[in-house]
Amino acid sequence: MCGITGYIGYREAYPIVINGLKRLEYRGYDSAGIMMYDGEEMHLSKTKGKVSDLEIITDRDEKRKRGTIGIGHTRWATHGIPNDINSHPHFSNSGELVVVHNGIIENYDTIKKELVKRGYIFKSDTDTEVLVNLIQEVKKKEGCKLGKAVQLALTQVVGAYAIAVFDKTKPNELVVARLGSPIAIGVGKENKEFFVASDASPFIEYTKDAIYLEDEELAIIKVGKGIKVRKIMDDSMVDTNVQQLKMNLEQIEKGGYDHFMLKEIHEQPKAITDTYRGRILANEGIIKMSSIDDNLPRFLNADRIIIVACGTSWHAGLVGEYLFEDLARIPVEVEYASEFRYRNPIITTKDIVIAISQSGETADTLAAIKLAKSKGAFVYGVCNVVGSSIARETHSGAYTHAGPEIGVASTKAFTTQITVLSLIALKLGREKGVLSKPAFQKYLQTLQLIPKQVEKLLEIDDQVKYIASVYKDATNCLYLGRGFNFPVALEGALKLKEISYIHAEGYPAAEMKHGPIALIDENMPIFVIATNKGHYEKVVSNIQEIKSRAGKIIAIVTEGDTQVKEIADHVIEIPETEEAFTPLLTTIPFQLLSYHIAVMLDKNVDQPRNLAKSVTVE
Ligand code: F6R
């Protein structure tokens, strides 16, 4: 996730901004940049890489560090690969305005085309450079001040943003605004200085007085005068609410959560929304994905799809198998990348290989891609990290836009991967005529309800915590699911193993009779997904079989279920949705459960023993 930090006041800004960027490093980033204003000139330094790489550049020339005004940025690429040019800050064509931006401007392409017609030139591939030039254009056309120009420009923008804008012709002010991405303002004594940042960590030692902008708010910050906040859309003034910060640095970095994993679990409503943002065009009732549109005949004529991945991404791939087969009627095989690469797989030029990877760096997945390419297959990547090795090695692909995942146990990566796969399957299903227009529309509407449903589901935390307290000392657990939810059973078991070190197995519910049933006794907790669609009655029979062998049953059911409630020891309810989307909901209680058990057992939740976030060796 990108990070913003800035300072305007009387102190040397450079150390504040550069240390602020270091404080934001935990958010994950691929490039860094800083603009320093020395009273006459704006000096821009930016680079792909780490803040320490940026410091090498600024150390070469003291001019780059001078001044009492500075804004800095750590970039997590969304539009345009990570490189020096795409790094922020970005100047407007006039060279007067400079912007740092977090988020995604969905309609940047349309705005860019319009600006190009008016003679604007773009150096980078970013949506941010489009935004700063739009602000310049509005300022010129309307003859207004910076604050008004930013406000008017933002009314034309679709997407999400947190921005900080500086205008060298008005050097005692900064303008910041937010929609969907956070921004905090640190208020110095007597309005002599101000700080801006994505969270309060960059300025916590300078001031404890902070204003957190709400969505669709814009603040004009003037040194010596103060802060005025307005609503972007209706121009109404907002009473500024200065809060007293009570959190320490570490708590701020984790957004107030105790662990990154918990923060990331709670980020899922936003992450899922960001995944389909700009891809589901609700008004037109279509899914727009240029990576699919550009290769449509290939997808429509593919003999089969082969999905390659590892770990949690492999589980997402298994959900993908059900999605593609059910919604688009395309045959699918899902392969562990590590096995696939060492077999002698039969691949033809009519196969499409989809490689799924959060990090985009997993060595086995990368090798599987190279093998598939060497055999002539078209390879499509589903990655989270923009510009990663897998994103570069594949012919085409879609990013998940989940934002950086820091906790070693994957959570939001899984649900956003499934979201991307759902979009592709729906799009292909519609293009192939497998899904009628009304059926397709219904799926689209239902998918857009998922973020709110996940939000609601996260409220069951206390119930899951209680269940965790009952079963935390178990030595073996079984996870069962069928159909779309069989992969969720595998994922639930993996999450528990990874962070609590309790042995757990995931199985298709019906397979239980072919072995695992022998393990069942009164000490064995069995987590069963029994949602109302998808073989409900069959799963109920499986539950009866477990019960008659004294196993303890924790069932995930659909709201309003009565049958399973009578048999199970504990029941967790999920909201109603299409069967195809149930994995996006059923996985949430399992994530919370593993988290709470690991915390109760005093394990290192974010960095479990022996595991690495990115497995770059085979
Ligand atoms: C599980 C987990 C791992 C990864 C696997 C693949 O919580 O994080 O199983 O899913 O190492 O990693 P990526 O998706 O980065 O290729």
* Residues constituting the chain: 618
Q: Say yes or no: CB of residue 359 within 6 Å of ligand 1.
A: yes
Q: Identify the pLDDT of residue 592.
A: 98
Say how many Å lie between the CA of residue 21 and the centre of ligand 1.
27
| CA nearest ligand 1 atom 4, residue | 311
Q: Say yes or no: CB of residue 311 within 6 Å of ligand 1.
A: yes
The dihedral sign for the CA sequence 349, 413, 292, 447 = positive
Q: Identify the pLDDT of residue 617.
A: 65
Number of the ligand 1 atom closest to the C-alpha atom of 365:
16
Say how many Å lie between the CA of residue 606 and the centre of ligand 1.
14
Domain ranges in the chain are 3-251, 257-457, 460-618
The answer to whether the beta carbons of residues 529 and 539 sit under 8 Å apart is: yes
> Do 3-251 and 460-618 fold alike per CATH?
no
Q: Identify the pLDDT of residue 607.
A: 85
Say how many Å lie between the CA of residue 303 and the centre of ligand 1.
28
Share of the chain above pLDDT 90, in %: 81
Pick the CATH number of 257-457 from 3.20.20.70, 3.40.50.720, 1.10.357.10, 3.40.50.10490: 3.40.50.10490
pTM: 0.80
CATH superfamily of domain region 460-618: Glucose-6-phosphate isomerase like protein; domain 1 (3.40.50.10490)
Q: Identify the pLDDT of residue 140.
A: 95
Half-sphere exposure at residue 267, Cβ-oriented, CA atoms within 13 angstroms:
31
Q: Identify the pLDDT of residue 548.
A: 86
CATH superfamily of domain region 3-251: Aminohydrolase, N-terminal nucleophile (Ntn) domain (3.60.20.10)
CA-to-CA distance for 100 and 77, rounded, in angstroms? 13
Q: Identify the pLDDT of residue 29.
A: 84
Q: Identify the pLDDT of residue 250.
A: 74
| CA nearest ligand 1 atom 5, residue | 311
Q: Say yes or no: CB of residue 310 within 6 Å of ligand 1.
A: yes
Residues in the chain, pLDDT under 70: 1, 616-618
Distances (CA, A) of 82 to 56, 163, 291, 327: 18, 19, 19, 35
The letter for the amino acid at 145 is K
Burial profile 102-133: b = 16 or more Cβ within 10 angstroms, e = fewer: bbbbbebeebbeebeeeebeeebbbbbbbbbb
Number of the ligand 1 atom closest to the C-alpha atom of 315:
10
Which DSSP string corresponds to 205-220?
A: TT-SEEEEPPTTEEEE
> Among 259, 265, 310, which is best to mutate for testing ligand 1, by the most ligand atoms less than 8 A from CB?
310
Question: Over the stretch 155-172, which tens digit does the pLDDT of each residue have?
Answer: 999 988 999 999 999 999
CA-to-CA distance for 561 and 529, rounded, in angstroms? 12
Say how many Å lie between the CA of residue 611 and the centre of ligand 1.
10
Q: Say yes or no: CB of residue 491 within 6 Å of ligand 1.
A: no
Which DSSP string corresponds to 100-154?
A: EEEEEETTHHHHHHHHHHTT----SS-HHHHHHHHHHHHHHHHT--HHHHHHHHH
Cis peptide before 438 (omega within 30 of 0): no
Active site residues: 2, 613
The dihedral sign for the CA sequence 117, 120, 124, 126 = negative
> Shortest CA distance to 101 belongs to which of 112, 113, 90, 115?
90
Number of H helices, E strands in the chain: 22, 27
Query: 10 Å Cβ neighbour count for 550?
Result: 11
Phi-psi region at 240: left, alpha or beta (left = phi > 0; alpha = psi -120 to 50): beta
Q: Identify the pLDDT of residue 470.
A: 97
Say how many Å lie between the CA of residue 313 and the centre of ligand 1.
6
User: Tokens standing for 132?
Assistant: 């700063």
